[in-house]
Amino acid sequence: MATIEEILELEQLERDIFRGQAHESYLQRTFGGQVAAQALVSATRTVSPEFHVHSLHGYFLRPGIPDRPAVYLVERLRDGRSFVTRRITGIQNGEAIFSMSASFHIGNEGIEHQDTMPTVPPADSIPDPLEDPDLPKTGVVREWENFDIRRIPNEEFVTDPLLASQQRVWFRYRHTLPDDNVFHVCTLAYMSDMTLLGSAKAAHPGVDVQEASLDHAMWFMRPFRADEWLLYDQTSPFAGSGRALTQGRIFDTTGRLVAAVTQEASPVPADPVPPLRQDDRR
């Protein structure tokens, strides 16, 4: 499968127009994290390096087609002394499939506090899905074979009785990434869409649904490395009316809160026909 370096390598067509290439996929729709990450790469290409992204808010408007490239149009909404704002539209076949706003900031001194990282078993104590012969090698596992994703069993962490549905996941990119903070941020934007809807499904074991993301928002607090273990502490405070709200806090192994995510999705009944590989659809 494509490496994250290949996924995030965009071609600049014009001053504010970029193209992300198509890559082989086991999924029927383009992975939402890929679209969000490529849109963020496009935005960062139009911002001075002293500005760092602190938030993004995106809407998935139409399903992406995995075997076709996407074009990203960047609008320069604001270039201020402390904040820069960009709006990005992802397009396939002449139609918008994704819309995102991203805000960049030059950091200032101010008050500081953060949540405490939950107590969980270390990532290395949980079997690697690619190496454990008892774990199925599903299309999703093979789609993300370059990512090490280890869901913590419910019996191995203390759940909060006041929360409706929750799960915790360790994840990281398996291979060493460049020493570029922007690259790690864009990689985490890709990773943040992984497993998050699972926090809504955790309260409904045995119910088979397909994931259809509606929107996605992220906030970035501190520098981190996406090729080192990160804990994704996920909750779903509500599901109903065909939608599920999910939230996540991302910590590094030292307990620093590095990012936060909120996403609404539409967990629809699973398609009885299994997803096809790109080559099988032709």
Active-site residue list: 193, 213, 263
Residue found by looking up tokens 């990773």 in the block? 191
Q: What whole-number distance in Å separates Cα of residue 170 and Cα of residue 230?
A: 6
Tell me if residue 34 falls in helix, strand or coil. Answer: helix
Q: What whole-number distance in Å separates Cα of residue 130 and Cα of residue 144?
A: 10
Q: What whole-number distance in Å separates Cα of residue 148 and Cα of residue 153?
A: 16
Q: Which residues pair with 95 in a beta bridge?
A: 92
Report residue 249 as tokens: 């806090």
Burial class (CB in 10 A: 0-12, 13-18, 19+), 256: middle
Q: What whole-number distance in Å separates Cα of residue 186 and Cα of residue 78?
A: 21
Radius of gyration over every alpha carbon of the chain, rounded to an integer in angstroms = 18
CB neighbours of 195 closer than 8 A, spacing ≥ 6? 149, 151, 167, 169, 171, 232, 234
Burial class (CB in 10 A: 0-12, 13-18, 19+), 178: exposed
